[in-house]
Structure 1
Amino acid sequence: MKPFKPYELPIDEQINPMEFYNELINASTNVGKYQVMLKKTKINEYFLITPFSLQEAVQSSKIEGTQVTLDEVLEFDIDKNKKNNDAQEVLNYYNALNYGENALERYPISTRLFKKLHKILMSSGVRGQNRAPGEYRSIQNFIGPEGCTLETATFIPPQPQLVDQYMSNLEKYINNPKDSLHPLVRVAIIHAQFETIHPFLDGNGRIGRILIPLYLYDVNLIDYPNLFISEVLEKDKHKYYRMLNGTRKEGNGWNEWIKFFLESVNKQVTKNINLVEEIDKLYKRDLEKAMGLINSTNVVDLVKTMYQKPIFDVKTISSLTGIPDTTCRRYLSTLEEEKIIFSDNKMRNRKYYYYNLLDLLR
Structure 2
Amino acid sequence: MGTYRKHLSGDMAFKSFVPTPISEIRIVHTERLDKLIRVVEDAMNRLNVYAVQLSDEQVLQFMRQEAEFSCKLASGGQPVSFALGTNTDDESIDDVENLLKATFYALEAMDELPLSARLLKNAHYLMCNSERYAKKYPGEFRSSPVWIGRKGSGLNDALFVPPAYEDMVNAFSDLEHFIHYTEENVFIKAAILHYQFEMIHPFIDANGRIGRLLIILFLYENKVSYSSVLLLSNAISAYIEKYYNMIQHVNTTGDIDAWVRFFLPVLEYAMRLTLKSVEHCVGHCPSA
Fold match, TM over 0.5? Answer: yes
AA matched with 1:17: H
**1:70 matched to which residue of 2?**
81
CA contact (8 A) 2:142 2:204 kept: yes
Q: What SS class does the counterpart of residue 247 from structure 1 fall into?
A: helix
**Within 2, Cα distance between the matches of 1:200 and 1:276?**
33
**CA offsets 1:170-208 (integer angstroms, 9 cap, x no match):** 11111211x3x2111101111111111111111111111
CA contact (8 A) 1:62 1:234 kept: no
**CA offsets 1:302-330 (integer angstroms, 9 cap, x no match):** x423xxxxxxxxxxxxxxxxxxxxxxxxx
**1:152 matched to which residue of 2?**
157
Query: Which of 249, 253, 257 lines up with 1:250 in the alignment?
Result: 253
**2:67 matched to which residue of 1?**
57
Q: Does 1:35 align with 2:33?
A: no
CA contact (8 A) 2:231 2:273 kept: no
AA matched with 1:38: A
**2:28 matched to which residue of 1?**
16
**1:139 matched to which residue of 2?**
144
**1:176 matched to which residue of 2?**
181
**1:25 matched to which residue of 2?**
38
AA matched with 2:64: L
Q: Structure 1 residue 258: deviation in Å? A: 1.1
CA contact (8 A) 2:231 2:274 kept: no
1:276 and 1:137, CA in 2 relative to 1: closer, same or farther beyond 3 A? same
Q: What SS class does the counterpart of residue 10 from structure 1 fall into?
A: helix
**CA offsets 1:126-169 (integer angstroms, 9 cap, x no match):** x4331111111111111123333223322111111222211111
Q: What SS class does the counterpart of residue 3 from structure 1 fall into?
A: strand
* Structure 1 residue runs of 4 or more that deviate by more than 3 Å after TM superposition: none
Rg bigger for which structure? Answer: 1
Q: CA RMSD in A?
A: 2.1
**Within 1, Cα distance between the matches of 2:257 and 2:165?**
28
**Within 1, Cα distance between the matches of 2:239 and 2:111?**
34
**Within 2, Cα distance between the matches of 1:120 and 1:182?**
31
Give the TM-score taking structure 2 as reference length: 0.87
**1:165 matched to which residue of 2?**
170
Q: Does 1:95 align with 2:132?
A: no
Query: Which of 51, 57, 75 lines up with 1:47 in the alignment?
Result: 57
**Within 1, Cα distance between the matches of 2:133 and 2:244?**
21
Give the TM-score taking structure 1 as reference length: 0.70
CA contact (8 A) 2:15 2:156 kept: no
**CA offsets 1:26-83 (integer angstroms, 9 cap, x no match):** 11111111001223x4xx34332111111111111112116551379xxxxxxxxx97
Q: What SS class does the counterpart of residue 158 from structure 2 fall into?
A: coil
Larger deviation: 265-274 or 194-203?
A: 265-274
Query: Which of 196, 202, 207 lines up with 2:210 in the alignment?
Result: 207
